Chain A
Amino acid sequence: MASTTPKVLTVENMNPHIREMEYAVRGRLAIRAEELRDELAQGATNLPFNKVVSCNIGNPQQLNQKPITFFRQVVSLCENPDLLEPEKESLVSQLYPIDAIQRARQILKDIGASIGAYSHSQGVPALRKSVANFIAERDGYPADPNSLYLTQGASAGVQNILSILTQNEKTGILIPIPQYPLYSATLTLLGATPVPYYLDEESGWSLDVEEIRKTVHEARSKGTDVRALVIINPGNPTGQCLEASNMQDILTFCHEERLLLMADEVYQTNIYEPEQRPFVSFKKALMEHPQRDTIELVSFHSISKGMIGECGRRGGYFECCNLDKGVTEQLYKMASVSLCPNVSGQIMTALMVTPPKQGDPSYELYQKEMTGLYESLRRRSKKLEAVFNAMEGVTCQPAMGSMYLFPRIRLPEKALAKAAELNQKPDAFYCDQMLEATGVCVVPGSGFAQKDGTWHFRSTFLPEESLFDEFCGHLKDFHANFMAKYK
């Protein structure tokens, strides 16, 4: 029978890098969580919980975080320019504030054509100009729109840069441990060599430049062509924010060790200790460094995080500093094969960086929404941190930034034995049990990598505030039961 002949394309003969790579954020546990969600949707009553809470991924609007009104009004008008016709003005102005209408008109004028047309492969020039202006205002130093690439989320930009950096399998890229597994997965896919450097949990996940230097020298002595350093600031999953002086040391280090710096700054507005640890961009730090014209830097930002949480729109950008002109031409070529980033994402990126200003009709509402979201994130982060720190055997560093907590769990022997029996890592076992008992889906620390012999998990603090105490209660109960069971 034809249907039993062996397949041409199998897991054995497919791309081995794809086979090898892992991305735990939407891995096995998240897949199981979706199965449970489907079961509940079909009316299952035999589960010990009545909803699945996805804390595995920074996806605020899935947990009912409201989008920013002004931004949605503008993109809605850009989608349907018929609304901007003069004869509709009186009707439309009942439904939309005047500044949203004006902004949409300006954007469409800047785009020139429709939002349905492929744009410039780097992104619409006028929208890049908005981003450049934002960067200049944020840092106090100018930015060149031609050095900007709008991207489909920061992820797409990160993948392009890692790809262009990878000359062969000896190419080494320094990545933090723990790290957001986009990096490890992409390096596997490219056949490049990850060169891990460890963040120190006890000192708030700090980064020691001399330790990294040792790591670099060791890797190079083994023949690895270490050429770039990835820093996630604020950190993911770890949430730490770098100090300005630390950043100067890092830049000096990159210069001395001849490393290109990749600065993943997508959480730059999720800053919860703004007085002690404000956000400083690496671009700004670079401009204040003696080697400002030399050190090669690529910085990434996104519309998925912050307070706006427009994940599904896939928008973001990266800025190149001091890159070789020939290399940027190749970057352009890479971008051109995919034609352009989606225009709606580009528009949202420009809006994110040019929000309503004081005096604008939408300013008050914008401020109210942003402040409300910010303070709620801050409250939830503190609450969940306290809950984790109160759990037996659990310690949790505070989140200075981002959307996650990364508590360390110390499991009793019996639990470790049970995990081994099931051929699971202890933190995966713990997270499995948590999901099946509470419906809460987190990601085991092994998905991010961690110091040998330690176990963690990453949870967002995004569940709605009105349900947060209940959510915390479930976690507390689960943990107490788990520890009792495996004492």
Chain B
Amino acid sequence: MFHNIYRTTSLTTRQSNLYYRTLRAASTSTTKGKVLTTARINPHIRNAEYAVRGALPIRAEALNKQLQNDKSLGFDRVVFCNIGNPQQLNQKPITFFRQVASLCDNPELLKPEHRDDLLKLYPQDAIDRAELLLKHIGSVGAYSHSQGIPHIRENIAKFLERRDGYPANPDHIYLTQGASAGVQTVLQMLTENEKSGIMIPIPQYPLYSATLSLINATPVPYYLKEDQDWGLSVEDLKKSVDEARAKDVDVRALAIINPGNPTGQCLTEENIRQIIDFCQKENLVLLADEVYQTNIYKPHQRPFHSFKKVLRSMGNDYNNVELFSFHSTSKGMIGECGRRGGYLECVNIDEDVLAQLYKVASISLCPNVHGQIMTDLMTNPPVEGDASYEQYNKETKGIFESLQRRATKLASCFNGLENVTCNDAEGAMYLFPRVRLPNKAIKAAKDAGIATDAFYALKMLEATGVCVIPGSGFGQEDNTWHFRSTFLPEEHLFDQFCSNIEKFHKDFMTEYRD
């Protein structure tokens, strides 16, 4: 039973599915006589929605294709701001990482007879790292341990110790195909039946809502406060959990995204302590989605604190709080999305549950080995003194500062639009501006049978080629409208990108002014 957590007139599931159908190539009815029809499929799949690659991006892909032959569209390129996919927008990969990965794929190059030539193309430290990894892996083409290669898990444990100042156990680390796969597995483990409740932020990254739909668990929303920099109060959490439990929902976990997605806020250490304390009091497992932990744009005011670190710092009284932390190779400065790498760390999880987690991992055999290698590299980059350190540092710093600049620029652009306000991005890769649209626009949206913010986003796409995602895809307070945009378009095209949006918004407001 789909629990409509979006208490707004968002795109309903039926409308969304209808929209999918009309957007894709028109087709004659193929349902007649079929064994498998949409009426007979898994109803949870039918109910699930994932806007990040939903109606708007599908339309954007169609326009992108059209542009190949049709020059009359009013823009010369589609700009995909719907998804945090930096290398699609020409962000360069980290050189050292690609060098190591390349050598791991072709160990023939490491043979002594090629060494002279190899050194003209690869730095010594990349060669050393590849040799070390292959020593522990064997071949990158073999299935590895289902939790991931032991050597890499050991390295991740060491990284965690350096990051937090507290030890980590390699046996409690699982390498995963992106953080998404880890999140889905944990949510599935947690779901005993349809009454199992998982607290999720509103707004949230719709992997959570979609997965809860798919596994038929109950989402228990808690609202972030836009006018307090998307802050999170324990009172609000308490209210949510009490309300749900009063309705017989078996609330058992709290998912937090820090830095937030789509909202970009970074939690203070105090806030994290309160949340941990709350989870202990309310018997909740904590799920800490920390994939944007290196995308931190106000490092002095709002540095990143890992939930693991804060938990450990709270001492023995809290060493029973059960925590899953997630990280990924897709974000940060490295943006290796297509590689599907990441890990989850289990803290204070029951040993028998861990054995079950292993079993689930074993059915898919293992996470892809290149994703594991990238996770190793991400957590153990070149250090001072290494041949590649300078270049590594330069590349990551360059990308970081550029992200910081673009975050500020786009926030400023959005804040300059009529009736639009936008909180700063303290972290992550997105802005989530709030648009206040005139009644004429609201009516036009209704007539078109889609949510108001979807209507606005669609108009933006068709006018400028810029694809963003309507706020209804993430959840939002009743009677508010937002959209999520990345700030990833290339810096040298950024001013043009901003002015295109400004022009569109002006024209839109003119057209729909009450």
- Mark A residues whose CB is within 8 Å of B: 1-5, 7-11, 13-16, 18-19, 21-23, 25-27, 34, 57, 59-62, 67, 69, 72-73, 75-77, 79-83, 88, 91-92, 94-95, 113-121, 152-153, 155-156, 159, 163-167, 182, 185-186, 189, 227-228, 258-260, 294, 296, 304, 308-314, 322-327, 329-330, 332-334, 336-345
A338 to B145, CA, bound (A): 22
B21 within 8 A of A: yes
Binding site for A on B (CB under 8 A): 17, 20-21, 24, 27, 30-31, 33-38, 40-43, 45-46, 48-50, 52-54, 61, 83, 85-88, 90, 93, 95, 98-99, 101-103, 105-109, 114, 117-118, 120-121, 138-146, 177-178, 180-181, 184, 188-193, 207, 210-211, 214-215, 252-253, 280, 283-285, 316-320, 322, 330, 334-340, 348-350, 352-353, 356, 359-360, 362-371
From B17, B189, B353, A329 is in contact (CB under 8 Å) with: B17
Contact with B88, one of A117, A155, A156 (Cβ below 8 angstroms): A117
B45 touches A330 (CB 8 A): yes
Q: For A339, what are the chain B residues with a Cβ–Cβ distance below 8 Å?
A: 53, 83, 178, 180, 337, 340
The answer to whether A313 and B369 have CB atoms under 8 Å apart is yes
17 contacts between A and B (CB under 8 A): A1-B316, A7-B353, A9-B190, A9-B322, A13-B252, A26-B365, A62-B139, A67-B139, A116-B87, A116-B93, A164-B41, A189-B363, A312-B142, A330-B45, A336-B54, A338-B180, A338-B184
Residues in B whose Cβ lies below 8 Å from that of A324? 30-31, 34, 36-38
The smallest beta-carbon distance between A204 and chain B, in angstroms, is 28
Asked if A313 meets B42 with Cβ closer than 8 Å, knowing A15-B189, A116-B87, A344-B339, the reply is: no
Query: When chains A and B are docked, how far (Å) is the Cα of A336 from the Cα of B57?
Result: 11
In the bound complex, residues from chain A placing their C-beta under 8 Å from that of B317 are 2
CB <8 Å contact, A342 and B340: yes
A116-B144 in contact given A82-B98, A342-B370 (Cβ < 8 Å): no
Q: Is the CB of B189 within 8 A of A18?
A: yes
Query: Once the chains are docked, how many angstroms separate the CA of A309 from the CA of B191?
Result: 36
**B14 CB, nearest partner CB in chain A, Å:** 12
Q: Is the CB of B42 within 8 A of A166?
A: yes
In the complex with contacts A9-B190, A15-B190, A77-B102 CB distance below 8 A? yes
Contact between chains at A163 and B98 (CB < 8 Å): no
On whether the beta carbons of A330 and B46 are closer than 8 Å, the reply is yes
The minimal Cβ–Cβ distance linking B466 to chain A, given in whole angstroms, is 18
Cα(A348)–Cα(B352), bound, Å: 37
Residue of A nearest to B88 (CB): A117
**Shortest 7 CB-CB contacts between residues of A and residues of B:** A80-B102, A76-B106, A336-B53, A26-B362, A343-B338, A312-B369, A79-B102
Residues of A within 8 A of B252 (CB): 8-9, 13
Q: Are A327 and B139 in contact (CB under 8 A)?
A: no
Separation of A189 and B42 alpha carbons in the complex (Å): 14
B284 A311 Cβ-Cβ under 8 A: no
Q: Which of A60, A116, A333 contacts B45 (CB 8 A)?
A: A333
Min CB distance A391 to B, Å, is 29
Question: A21-B359, A23-B363, A312-B140 given as contacts; is B93 within 8 A of A15 (CB)?
Answer: no
Q: Find B350's partner among A10, A61, A166 (CB 8 Å cutoff).
A: A10
Please state if A61 and B139 are interface contacts (CB–CB under 8 Å).
yes
Given the known inter-chain contacts A8-B252, A80-B99, please indicate yes or no for A18 contacting B356, CB distance below 8 A.
yes
CA–CA, A153 and B365, complex, Å:
10
Whether B368 pairs with A345 at a CB distance below 8 angstroms is: yes
Taken together as a complex, chains A and B put the C-alpha atoms of A260 and B35 apart, in Å, by 7
Q: How far is the CB of A167 from chain B (nearest CB, A)?
A: 6
Contact B339 A343 (CB under 8 A): yes
Which chain A residues border B207 with CB–CB below 8 Å? 337
**Across-interface contacts of A83 in B (CB, < 8 A):** 102, 121
| A344 with B368: CB separation less than 8 A | yes
In the bound complex, CA of A151 to CA of B260 (Å):
29
A3: B residues at CB distance < 8 A: 316, 319-320
Known contacts: A7-B350, A152-B177, A311-B142. The answer to whether A113 contacts B90 by CB under 8 A is yes
**CA–CA, A92 to B109, complex, Å?**
11
Question: A259: which of B35, B144, B364 is its contact (CB, 8 Å)?
Answer: B35
Residues of A within 8 A of B93 (CB): 114, 116
**Smallest beta-carbon distance A70→chain B, Å:** 11
Residue of B nearest to A166 (CB): B42
Cβ distance A479 to chain B, nearest Cβ, rounded Å: 28
Candidates B35, B144, B284, B365; contact of A8 at CB < 8 Å:
B284
How far is B42's CA from A339's CA once the two chains are assembled, in angstroms? 20
Contact A342 B338 (CB under 8 A): yes
Q: How far is the CB of A441 from chain B (nearest CB, A)?
A: 14
Q: Closest chain B residue to A343 by CB distance?
A: B338
- Give every chain B residue within 8 A of A167 (Cβ-Cβ): 40-43
Whether B368 lies near A312 (C-beta < 8 A) is yes
